[in-house]
Structure 1
Amino acid sequence: MSSFVHEDQLASDNAEEVTKYNYRKKIWDFMKKNELANFPLSIYNRIPNFKGATEAAQRLAELEEFRNAKVIKIKPDKSQEPIRALSLEANKEILVPIPRLKSGLFLHITPTEGATKEQIKFAATRHGLQQNGKPLGITSKIKVDLVVLGSVCVSKAGYRIGKGEGFADLEFAIMLRMGAIDKNTVVVTTVHDCQVIDDLPSQLFQEHDVPVDIIVTPTQTIVVNPRLQKPAGILWHLLSQRRLKCMQILQELKELEEKEGKIIVLKEVDSDRETRQYEKNRNKKGKNKTRSKAKADISQTQTAVGGNKDIVKPRFPKRRLYHKLRGDGDNPSINEDNGEENDNEKPLRRKPFKPKSKTQIDFSLKLSNIASDVRVRDLKNALSKRGVKPSEISWRGQRGFCYLHFGKLRNGNSLPDQPVQVDSIVANLQQFRINETEDSTASDFIVVEPTKPITRIEVTDVTTV
């Protein structure tokens, strides 16, 4: 099969800026239109789980670089799951990066002696990696012999475009810093044939981009010759302080290099993609303000009906009058003939606001290890799936924790001095996650612990969320 038979679809118009995202978008569109992806079918912003991934994995396993490797670093993408299974079946150790490097660096999975094919297949899945993987940090002395990456598209010259978040490049740089790999370590990618492009503009790629040495598809193996130069290490000037705060590993590496006397200067924004998104949102916000102001100016003036169009008159909101009607309905307070208000009737005043009485709190639970992007509605939906309905929620999600307050949990026959049944709820929230995704790991579990009722904290009424 040829590389990409519809390559003319990837050629940008003269007026269109040539970017990596242009290539990603058109590959995603082409694969979706032609149904070339397996589950998950939503391939946008993902490494596609292309049809033929198993055949590509088997072809990769025939490479001499694979047969000679003892330790292989493989991405946790779904399209690389067959490669992980074949590696374990071949009695090889694998390293899988923890998604987004949130809670660590790698999970180290070693083959289990006497394991069946079904057990090996499960060990290669996301859940199997969580159960069997042992965390490895930057101080590990492990040696990696082969690196396997997923891609959105690649060129025959070895240029690779991922999904755009830069984690594969960052993981490669960290492994260089650890001494786990060097510039001669072979990098392989598996893709569908349609993801192979004859040429990608070299100006799209920077010094941090990791190229590939071998491209494997379900039908062909492409050995890049000559090989492109690989990154030299961590490029701190391309990382921001915000990204460091999200990754404890980067903070540790930064402190380590600063102790060695290296001066580290960070970038204000993580990537060009984020910069464009920031500018787009800022410009959009400015346009909305201008549009709202213009709309407000128009609403203040209306052209006089039947008069000169140049004469405008101000528009004032109508005053609402609340009238009281008689209980018998015979003498309404509004005269039916002329619509005038009767003098003997007074406007009905609104009743004063009476705050709702607070629910009696019998006990509270503290939930911690909450991600910063989680919202209270996400928590409420996740709790609902577990059948847990707190009376109130004290939300501190931006600080990584919250409180669930419960009341009236005693049975009707229970005595007042008997303890509230807390254990059943705590047990129900074991291995609890919010916004569970395919990349979730055991470190994403929410920590649940009983605590005393919280009284001096802002409480969110769950009925209003």
Structure 2
Amino acid sequence: MNDIDQAKHELRDKVWRRLIDGGGAPDDSYGKIPGFHGTEGTAEMLAGQDFWRRATTVKANPDWAQLAVRVRALKDGKRVYMAVPRMASPQPFHLLDPENLGLPPEEAAEKKGAAQVARRIGVESMEPVDVVVCGSVAVNRSGARIGKGAGYSDLEVALLIEAGLVTERTVIVAPVHPLQVIEEDIPETEHDFSVDYIVTPGEVIPCPGRRRPRGIVWGDLTADKIAAIPVLAQRERRGRA
């Protein structure tokens, strides 16, 4: 573990403990993207933003913490691209179409429901993304964020950037509990992206200094990581085209 990884690990540990001890999330949230109390409030705050009203496509992570936002997106008539857990498919996204769900939004937006009714698609079949909703363990007011350490959010966004689907017009948001908003600096590497807005149940915080990678940073990936993610393994075989 290098110095940056160690610093991120220490921040995660601090925030997980503060969130649980402060009553902001259930006791079993340690080690996860926290399913914090007030997720419905973040969905309501997000739904009141102009950029959300204009959006027709939303990409979201599959964690429970962002379920309320995925449900709200479907109820608001937006197409939702929901990442397949651990990107464990050659087509690493579920497409949830509000006009053709087959289940109520509350069920379709869950991992189990999406696996039943959503079509799996690759980036070549996707439309440009207006809003990216990313799960986070901690975020600061400059927009720097850290997840739980697996790196899937970074890879998903990098894939979409390379495909021209996440652009300068795309807004990236982090719905979190107030206890997840920290004052400390968060160390960043080449593959990290920042968020444009932090959304809590009580406020929306604009973040300056947008930071995004140009695409996948292959040098930061181990051979095991590439082999475990089919879409990366395919690209590796094709010469990272």
Q: Normalising to structure 2: TM-score of the pair? A: 0.92
Q: Distance in 2 between matches of 1:136 and 1:21?
A: 33
Contact 2:101 2:117 in 1 (8 A): no
Post-superposition Cα deviations, 1:302-354, rounded to whole Å, max 9, x if no partner, equal: xxxxxxxxxxxxxxxxxxxxxxxxxxxxxxxxxxxxxxxxxxxxxxxxxxxxx
1:152 to 137, 149, 166: 137
Aligned residue in 2 for 1:205: 188
Give the aligned partner of residue 46 of structure 1.
32
For the residue of structure 1 that corresponds to 2:124, the secondary structure is coil
Matched, 1:251 2:236: no
Correspondent of 1:98 among 77, 84, 93: 84
Residue 236 and residue 101 in structure 1: after superposition, are their counterparts in 2 closer, same or farther (change >3 A)?
Answer: same
For residues 51 and 112 of structure 2, what CA distance do their matches in structure 1 show?
28
Q: Which runs of at least 4 in structure 1 moved beyond 4 Å after TM superposition?
A: none
- In structure 2, give the amino acid aligned to 1:237: G
CA contact (8 A) 2:101 2:118 kept: no
What is the aligned residue count?
Answer: 236
Aligned-partner Cα distance in 2 for 1:113–1:150? 26
Conserved? CA contact 1:183–1:231, under 8 Å: no
Counterpart CA distance in 1 for 2:232 and 2:69 is 28
Please give the alpha-carbon distance, in whole angstroms, between the structure 1 residues aligned to 2:133 and 2:37.
18
Which aligned pairs between 1:127-138 and structure 2 lie closer than 5 A? Answer: 127-138=112-123
CA distance in 2, matches of 1:86, 1:109: 12
Q: CA RMSD for the aligned pairs?
A: 1.9
Q: Deviations over 1:107-145 (max 9, x none)?
A: 001013698xx8121111121111121011132242111
- Opposite residue 213 of structure 1, the aligned amino acid is D
CA distance in 2, matches of 1:239, 1:200: 24
Which amino acid counterpart does residue 219 of structure 1 have in structure 2?
Answer: G
**Percent identical:** 33
CA distance in structure 2 between the partners assigned to 1:71 and 1:249 by the alignment: 22
Q: How far off is 1:34 after superposition?
A: 2.4
Alignment map for 1:338-417 (pairs within 5 Å): none
* Residue of 70, 87, 94 corresponding to 2:56: 70
One-letter amino acid matched to 1:74: A
1 or 2 for the larger relative contact order (CA 8 Å, sep ≥6)? 2
* 1:291-306 equivalent positions in 2, closer than 5 A: none
Q: What letter matches 2:22 in structure 1?
A: N
Quick one: distance in 2 between partners of 1:141 and 1:161?
A: 26
1:108–1:135: 8 Å Cα contact kept in structure 2? yes
Equivalent position of 1:297 in the other structure: none
Which residue is equivalent to 1:281? none
SS of 1:42's equivalent?
helix
> Whole-Å Cα distance in 2 between the matches of residues 160 and 175 of structure 1?
19
Question: If the length of structure 1 is used for normalisation, what is the TM-score?
Answer: 0.49
Post-superposition offset of 1:254: 2.3
- Check if 1:25 corresponds to 2:13: yes
- How far residue 217 of structure 1 moved from its aligned partner, in angstroms, is 0.4
Q: Does 1:241 align with 2:223?
A: yes
Counterpart contact for 1:189–1:214, Cα < 8 Å = yes
| 2:167 aligns with one of 179, 182, 189 | 182
